[in-house]
Structure 1
Amino acid sequence: MTDHPKYLVTGGAGFIGSHLVDALLARGGPVVVLDDLSTGRLQNLAGARERGNLQFVHGSVLDEPLVDKLVGECDRVVHLAAAVGVKLIVEQPLRSFTINTKGTETVIEAAYRHGRHVTLASTSEIYGKNSSGPLTEMSDRVLGSPSVPRWSYSTAKAVDEILAELYRREYGLRATVVRFFNTVGPRQSPAYGMVIPRFARQAVLGEPLTVYGTGRQSRCFLHVTDVVAALVSLLDRPEAEGETFNIGSDEEISILDLAERIIACANSTSTVHRVSYTDAYGPGFEDMERRVPDTTKLRALTGWQPRRDLGDILVDAVADARGEAPQQAPVAVPGRPDEGHAGGADGRAVAAGPCPV
């Protein structure tokens, strides 16, 4: 391996993946992206492709020969490809479960065969309904019935983590697991239930911001640039091998307060409209009241600190929503000078769901 290892990033045309690709290319090394573009977009890699040193492969992590070939040609693997978002998980639970388990197994087996280190993306959904906090990497998982589709995603990602750990213990797989809490920033689509881009778009269009449940459920949001900084810091640390790390913010806010802050940030005339979970997702949907990460382990190893707070995140989200809103849409007031960049989120505006993973 050279001073600039060649990375394979699965799901690299997605939201977090494309930002990671940008960061890895900026360090001078070659990057291969494997993405089936089911949720990722080539537009997300526009800047990366101008840099050169990037190879894009249109394909699936379920394609075992292709994954094996690409892993063998690279030095390290970052596995981000997954079916994500509450909306997708509830509407297509079997497809989501298959992609998230079989895809990860394919990547892990190839990494083992070729002796490659793999960084595996997991999720705060691992903790299920555990609303205590802050949640450490060793906190208990509290799940509902297997008959509730919501918990199939948590279970699938737990299977991913277990596979990585068992391959590490029994076969010596070199692996690091990262659990993303709510990540927000440019290139994030509102089409998959992500609450902040949905709220921002609704506010810019002057539509009601739809809050599900009581709205008292609280979450923490971390800007994607801080997430990537944490990821890169772990890639550089041999001590991270065999470990699991939370990546998230501890700045907590209720969903109702979040809606009000976005309305204020957009200087919008929108109102807040509350809808029951049953009306939104059908009977049996379950959510958690609180989810706050403990990132002590990550900070102690790497010295990482987030550089952007929730205010910065909301400014970016509103700017992105303004940049992609139809010309005829009613926009309350032009953005401040620091709100000038556009994010290019896709998908039609629909009701924002409960804060996703």
Structure 2
Amino acid sequence: MKIRNRKRVLVTGGAGFLGSHLCERLLKEGDDVICLDNFYTGTKDNIQHLMENPFFEVMRHDVTFPLYVEVDEIYNLACPASPIHYQFDPVQTTKTSVHGAINMLGLAKRTKARIFQASTSEVYGDPEQHPQTESYWGHVNPIGSRSCYDEGKRCAETLFFDYYRQHNLDIKVGRIFNTYGPNMHPNDGRVVSNFIMQALTDQPITIYGDGQQSRSFCYVDDLIEAFVRLMASPAEVTGPINLGNPNEFTILELAEQVIEMTHSRSKIEKRPLPDDDPKQRQPDISLAKKTLDWEPKTLLEEGLKKTIPYFENLVKAGIKQ
């Protein structure tokens, strides 16, 4: 019998929102997948349907500690990504980004693996340039309540490029903009999950500020396609590269669309704007189009139609905000 030559792929944060979708995609590609998670925000519910696959392995482990496995590729997604979760233990959040990057880069160096860093649009802070290009250095508060995440991710990028320059490591850095879809944590405080859960339970839709701050929303399947393409790109394509949907919507527009699509009786309730909340966030994806031949395909309404049933099932199961 011929033994198939499968890639051995490690996904840190593999039981989280993005990680679980990535694990599923990689298994469909025929890879041998190790899902690594400490289950701080990730959940086994997200990966339960993958457990029967003989080429899927789950490891409970925290990336702030060294890991010794043999792999060909590493997707480093481990880090709480919503303000509610990353501000709960800000020191640990910074450790996850910085120590986690050091440990995964060390693993990649030892195994000669190609490594992908899930960076974020938060590296741009509250941007003065709109839309944001990869050459923009950002407008970030280094000592604010969100800095544990913003600066942790910025430091991780620094480490990746220093390992690239100093050790010739094969790196890929993607800057992820707002993404939504099934498997989002219902209590993560992010705007899409918040609005849908509030609408489905007829609670007030909470908008911070006047609702005119804008975001760009990318459906998860489109983002995972970008991950896979970036990982498979030529070695000289290191990034950082913006990965997101350039179509821009105000928070108020999103709230009104969710209310309409869920047939909710919810009313919109305005609250004070949180510290360091960016007023605009929109990617320039020219580089992704050019180097990866990638751009999102899913319109917001279409993506919400695929996302709302997931939250409806959570509400039916008695899961609340």
TM-score class normalised by the smaller sequence: over 0.9
Q: Does the Cα contact within 8 Å between 2:14 and 2:23 map onto a contact in 1?
A: yes
Q: Does the Cα contact within 8 Å between 2:87 and 2:148 map onto a contact in 1?
A: no
Instruction: Report what 1:53 is aligned to.
Output: 55
- For residue 244 of structure 1, what is the amino acid of its counterpart? P
Instruction: Report what 1:341 is aligned to.
Output: none
Where 1:91 maps in the other structure, the secondary structure is coil
CA distance in 2, matches of 1:131, 1:48: 43
Deviations 1:235-277 (A, max 9, x none): 2212454322111001111111111110011111110000113
Where 2:175 maps in the other structure, the secondary structure is strand
- For residue 91 of structure 1, what is the amino acid of its counterpart? F
Instruction: Report what 1:14 is aligned to.
Output: 16
Instruction: Report what 2:110 is aligned to.
Output: 113
**Residue in structure 2 matching 1:133, options 118, 124, 130:** 130
Kindly report which structure 2 residues correspond to 1:96-245, keeping only aligned pairs within 5 A, or say none.
96-144=93-141, 146-239=142-235, 241-245=237-241
- For residue 256 of structure 2, what is the amino acid of its counterpart? E
Q: Does the Cα contact within 8 Å between 1:220 and 1:253 map onto a contact in 2?
A: yes
Task: Indicate yes or no: 2:302 matched with 1:300.
Answer: no
Q: Does the Cα contact within 8 Å between 2:170 and 2:235 map onto a contact in 1?
A: no
Where 2:98 maps in the other structure, the secondary structure is helix
CA distance in 1, matches of 2:162, 2:124: 20
Gaps of 5+ in 2: none
Q: Does the Cα contact within 8 Å between 1:119 and 1:178 map onto a contact in 2?
A: yes
- For residue 17 of structure 1, what is the amino acid of its counterpart? G
CA distance in 2, matches of 1:153, 1:324: 28
Deviations 1:294-325 (A, max 9, x none): 11111112211322110012222322221111
Instruction: Report what 1:95 is aligned to.
Output: 92
Task: Indicate yes or no: 2:240 matched with 1:250.
Answer: no
Task: Indicate yes or no: 2:275 matched with 1:276.
Answer: no
Deviation at 1:327, TM superposition (A): 6.6
Structure 2 vs 1, CA of residues 240 and 311 (structure 1 numbering), >3 Å: closer, same or farther? farther
Count of paired positions: 318
Deviation at 1:131, TM superposition (A): 4.2
CA distance in 2, matches of 1:23, 1:94: 32
- For residue 54 of structure 2, what is the amino acid of its counterpart? G
Structure 2 vs 1, CA of residues 155 and 327 (structure 1 numbering), >3 Å: closer, same or farther? closer
Q: Does the Cα contact within 8 Å between 1:5 and 1:75 map onto a contact in 2?
A: yes
Q: Does the Cα contact within 8 Å between 1:131 and 1:291 map onto a contact in 2?
A: no
Q: Does the Cα contact within 8 Å between 1:131 and 1:289 map onto a contact in 2?
A: no
CA distance in 1, matches of 2:14, 2:285: 25
- For residue 110 of structure 1, what is the amino acid of its counterpart? L
Instruction: Report what 1:335 is aligned to.
Output: none
CA distance in 2, matches of 1:12, 1:312: 25
CA distance in 2, matches of 1:298, 1:183: 16
Q: Does the Cα contact within 8 Å between 1:185 and 1:224 map onto a contact in 2?
A: yes
Kindly report which structure 2 residues correspond to 1:284-295, keeping only aligned pairs within 5 A, or say none.
285-295=275-285
Q: Does the Cα contact within 8 Å between 2:245 and 2:295 map onto a contact in 1?
A: no
Q: Does the Cα contact within 8 Å between 1:209 and 1:272 map onto a contact in 2?
A: yes
**Residue in structure 2 matching 1:74, options 55, 71, 74:** 71
CA distance in 2, matches of 1:121, 1:241: 15
Q: Does the Cα contact within 8 Å between 1:132 and 1:290 map onto a contact in 2?
A: no
Question: Percent identity at matched positions?
Answer: 31
Where 2:187 maps in the other structure, the secondary structure is helix
- For residue 107 of structure 1, what is the amino acid of its counterpart? M
Structure 2 vs 1, CA of residues 327 and 81 (structure 1 numbering), >3 Å: closer, same or farther? closer
Gaps of 5+ in 1: 329-345, 350-357
Instruction: Report what 1:312 is aligned to.
Output: 302
Deviation at 1:122, TM superposition (A): 0.3
